[in-house]
Structures are given as C-alpha cells and as structure tokens.
Chain A
Amino acid sequence: MDPEFFELLAMPLFDQLYNFSHWLTGDRSDAEDLVQETYAKALKNFELFQEGTNLRAWMYRILRNTFLSSRTSLAAQKTDALDDDTEIASNAPTPESALLQLENSQAVIDALATLPVGYREMILLIDIEELSYKDAAQVLNVPIGTVMSRLSRARNLLRQALTAKPPERASNAV
C-alpha cells in the first residue's frame, strides 16, 4: 500500500501496540524500543501490506516477531516451553476464595505478569487486545486450533496462579 497512508492507518494503533509491547517486555524503555522498531519495520515494508487484510494483525505480528528476536525475549524464552499438545487436566471445582480472586482485577493483572511470555501473549491478544482467533493465528503464525488450545492453557495457568498465590503479592516478574 502507498506509504502515504501509513501514518493515517497505523497511528491509531499506537496506544494498543505500546500497551502490548510494555506487557511483553515489562519495561518502559524496552517497550518504547520495541514499538519504535515495529513502526520502522512496518513503514519500510508497508508496500508489501495488502489492502483489505488486517493491518492490526499485521502490526501485532511485526511487533511480536521483533520481540521474539530481541534480547529481552530470548532471556524470557529460555524458561518457556509452550506445551500446545498436552490435554489440559479436567477442571476441578474452584474454591470460593479463588472465585473472589477472579473478581479482583489487580490480582488477575498481577498474576498475568507472572505467566511465561508465550502464554501471557495469548491472554494479551485475545482477552485484552480482543483480537479474533483468526487474527491471533495470523499474529502468531499458527493454526486457529493452536490458538484455541494455547489460550485455554494460558487461562488455566492464570487461574492457577491466582489460586496458588496470595493476592497482595507484588509481581514484577516478566
């Protein structure tokens, strides 16, 4: 597409992309670097972007790929091994205390920060950025079925993190 339209179409995504970037990196400076690099790459390759396709998914994908090749991400990934295939254990009834935790926004958000980045990004893309499964599949470059199973696993891990840890715990883990 004509680079002349890049600013018009890409700048409205700025806040979302920044939020996503900060969630991924856990740091303002790293988040800014990531967003800046994302915009630079997107602008450079904007002619390759096909009109009629989803610019939002395209930008998120550039951001995520840039993040994956970054230092911050490489450090995080060492401890992450995504398990898309293992069937998630059948959900046992959640205790009452955990249910209360689920309603505690601060606790949920803090717990999100403790998730491995591969699962955190699933929650971020679907529950926070509200991408469709199809767009998320495009961002992650995986089949929609993988989005579904990985998301389910991420949500389960988040719920476990909530029930396993006290709500007051301050989390700064990335």
Chain B
Amino acid sequence: MPCNSNPATLGAYLDNELPPDQMAALRQHVPTCAQCAAEVVELAMMQRSLRPARERFTPTPEFRRKIQQQVAARPRRSLSWSFALVPALAVLVIMLLAGVGWVAYSHRADAFSEAADLHIDALASANPVDVVSTDRHTVKPWYQGRIPFSFNLPELQNTGYTLIGGRLVYYHQQPGAQLLVGLRQHKISVLIFQETPELARAFAGPTSVEHRNSFSIDTWTSQDLRFVIIGDAEPAAITKLAQLLKQANS
C-alpha cells in the first residue's frame, strides 16, 4: 500500500518539530512503513554528513580581535578609561596644589625674610629709629607727609611694651612705617604698609604667629593696611602686641 506521508512532515519528525500527537503517530507508523523509514534514514544520514560543515569555516584570530574590539562594552571601556584617569588626574591636582602651595610658601618666605631684614637692619643701625620717642602722640605725627597713609598707635603704658621710636622704610618700593617696640630686652618691629595685591599675595597664608629663624612673625590687614610684627620675643608676646594694634586700628 503506497504511503502518502508528506516528506516535509517526515523531516519535521526527524527534527522533533511536530506536535506531540503527530510525533506519537509517526513513531508508530515509520517503523512499519518501508517508504517512510527509508526517507527518514536518508535524511538522518544526510544530516550526519552535514555535521562537519558546522566547523567548516573558522574566523582568523585577527578578525576575532577586530570584532572583540568593536563590541568591547563601550560604557565599561569609557568607565575604565575614566578610572584609569583618576590617579593621573589626582597626581596632576596634587602637583598643581603643591606647585601653587610652594609658590605661595616661597612668596611668604620671601616676604617674611624681607621683613626680618628690615628688622635686623634697624637693630644693626647706629640710629635704629628716625624719630626717637616713647610718646605715640609724637611718633604718629612724624609720619605725616612721609607716608601716604595714617595709622593709630595703641596706648602702651602698663602693657610691658615700650615704644622706642619709628623710621621710614620701603617695602617693594612702597613707603611704610617701621615702629620699634621694646619688651624687656627684646626688640620688636611693627611694619605698616598700604595693602596692595602684591603684598596680599606675598603674605598669603595662615593667620597665626610663625616662628622663623628665631623670630616670631605675625601679619594681618586692617583698614587696607598691612601690619607685620617681627621680633625675637616669644610668640605670645607678639600675639599680645598684635591684639593691641588691632584694637587701635579696627
């Protein structure tokens, strides 16, 4: 009896792609039908022979790398790039900060050493002061016409400080006042200049008494004036004098 099974159905039977009821029916039928059995066997043989075609063509390693690079997860790559940049950026920032810090520090160091020079110069001079007076009402008027600004001097009586006198000094081509104040055997210079951006840069830094080369130094600005106190007295004494001057000029 000729079998009229559709070859496509037999192929789908071989591929296990038929609904369960058809699969079951053919499982019964194929072994008993020579024609269908031959067809299924031939298809199976052909399928087995085709198997090597699966690895017939293989990509070259170069091409694989090319595609690998092409599809390398982009967000991850950009992320890893930015992560890689973090240490580099950090180093750059640290270097910049260090550079800026060093420049500021060196400016400040230069400024302090200039202030120290003025102080030492005054102490070493045979005439340390141009105006010799313990009276602030004498010293302050002396500066009128000599410097382009005026300042106030605190009352130093009963403070332990004594005003020795003052002289005219130049700092960065700017005329200013240098007052010499005594505290016991110590001599302290009070330098007063008009504040300029240059001075602000030169003295930029923490506002606390610094100890350099056995000198204590304090600096601040008040009413557009730059005050620098420098002397060999202990820092507390410098701070106290600074307070007096600040009160007088606030």
Instruction: Please report A residues at the B interface, Cβ cutoff 8 Å.
Output: 3-8, 10-11, 14-15, 18-19, 22-23, 28, 31-32, 35-36, 39-40, 43, 88, 90-91, 93-94, 99, 102-105, 107-109, 112, 123-124, 126-129, 132-133, 148-149, 151-152, 155-156, 158-159
Contacts and interface: CB of A to CB of B under 8 A. Distances in A.
Nearest to B57: A22
Contacts of B8: 88, 148-149, 151-152
Nearest to B79: A4
Given A4-B75, A128-B54, A158 B70 contact: no
A19 B58 contact: yes
Interface stretch (B45-53, B110-118, B217-225): B45-53
Contacts of A126: 15
B5 to A, nearest CB: 10
B155 interface: no
Report which residue of A10, A88, A129, A152 has the largest number of chain B beta carbons within 10 angstroms of its beta carbon.
Answer: A152
Contact of A148 (B12, B45, B56): B12
A109 B50 contact: yes
B42 A102 contact: yes
A93 B37 CA distance: 11
A32 B76 CA distance: 26
Given A35-B63, A43-B70, A107-B49, 11 more contacts: A4-B73, A4-B75, A19-B55, A19-B56, A39-B67, A39-B71, A40-B70, A103-B45, A105-B51, A133-B17, A148-B12
Contacts of A35: 59, 63, 67
B46 A7 contact: no
A23 B42 contact: no
B74 interface: yes
17 contacts: A3-B75, A4-B73, A4-B76, A14-B64, A18-B58, A19-B58, A22-B57, A23-B57, A32-B59, A40-B70, A93-B38, A94-B42, A105-B50, A105-B51, A151-B8, A152-B6, A159-B46
A155 B46 contact: yes
Given A14-B64, A35-B67, A151-B8, A102 B49 contact: yes
Majority secondary structure, B binding face? helix
Nearest to A129: B54
A133 B43 CA distance: 16
Nearest to A6: B71
B158 interface: no
Chain A contact surface mostly: helix
Nearest to A151: B11
A11 B15 CA distance: 27
B11 A15 contact: no
Nearest to B36: A91
A102 B45 CA distance: 6
Given A3-B75, A36-B66, A112 B39 contact: no
Contact of B56 (A23, A91, A158): A23
What 4 A-B pairs have minimum CB-CB distances, sorted nearest first?
Answer: A22-B57, A152-B8, A108-B49, A18-B59
Contacts of B45: 99, 102-103
B57 A104 contact: no
B73 A91 contact: no
B1 interface: no
A158 B17 CA distance: 21
A154 to B, nearest CB: 10
Given A14-B64, A103-B45, A109-B53, A7 B7 contact: no
A132 B73 contact: no
A138 to B, nearest CB: 14
Contacts of A14: 59, 64, 67
Contacts of B66: 36
Given A19-B55, A36-B66, A36-B70, A103 B49 contact: yes
Contacts of B17: 132-133, 148
B68 interface: yes
